[in-house]
Amino acid sequence: MKVTKAQAQANRARVVETASTLFRERGYDGVGVADLMAAAGFTHGGFYKQFRSKADLMAESAACGIAQTVALSAGVDAAAFVRHYLAREHRDARATGCTMAALGGDAARQPEAVRATFAAGIESLLAALHPEGTPSEGEDARQARAKGLDMLAHVVGAIVLSRACPDDSPLADEILTVCRNEILASLGATAAAENSAS
């Protein structure tokens, strides 16, 4: 029986979403095409009917995961974003958390298409975190962008370091708490009682 165009698109979307989750959980090298297709409910042979290569799927699935983070971040003020991002719940949700934190190190060693997806994702997240009315030109815009990049690098780095520690390690939680409080202080947000929110 021939698959309809709509069904083919739905099948492809399911593979991309499954890949996005599995790659975040296990890394790009930790997931083979056969395992990925089986997890999505398809045979290994169907992969190359949908994608030219694993690298193409890696780029597309990264875009999917980054778009999820951007959608959750749009319209959220910087302090709320930091509190959510640097929470233990986000750190422990590797498979559904931020793609940049989960795969940024892996992406650095991947083909240019994957790295370009991450660069575009960083730009998208910066735009989503820019409050309405932020200047788009001039020195104020450069300063706002610099603050956004600093904050984004800081939160992603904090998640990476915290995840590198054993889950029950006091250091893993300390990294989140210290970084969250420092970033909130730099944003002018009150960091009182943040120590207990990890």
What residue spans define the domains of the chain?
5-197
Tens of pLDDT, residues 90-120:
999 999 999 999 999 999 999 999 999 999 9
- Which residues, including other chains, have CB under 8 Å from residue 10's CB and lie 6 or more apart? none
Nearest to 159 by CA among 189, 143, 183, 188: 183
Q: Which amino acid appears at position 14 of this protein?
A: R
CATH tag for 5-197 (out of 3.10.20.740, 3.40.50.150, 1.10.357.10, 2.40.128.110): 1.10.357.10
* Strand ranges for the chain from DSSP E: none
Tens of pLDDT, residues 118-140:
999 999 999 998 765 566 677 78
Q: Rounded to whole angstroms, how far apart are CA atoms 191 and 108?
A: 33
DSSP annotation of 158: H
Distances (CA, A) of 190 to 139, 154, 157: 27, 18, 22
Position 189 scores a pLDDT of: 61
- For the chain (198 residues), the mean pLDDT of every run of 10, in chain order, is 82 95 96 94 87 94 95 90 96 95 95 96 91 67 89 96 93 97 84 43
Exposed, middle or buried: residue 6 (CB in 10 Å: 0-12, 13-18, 19+)?
exposed
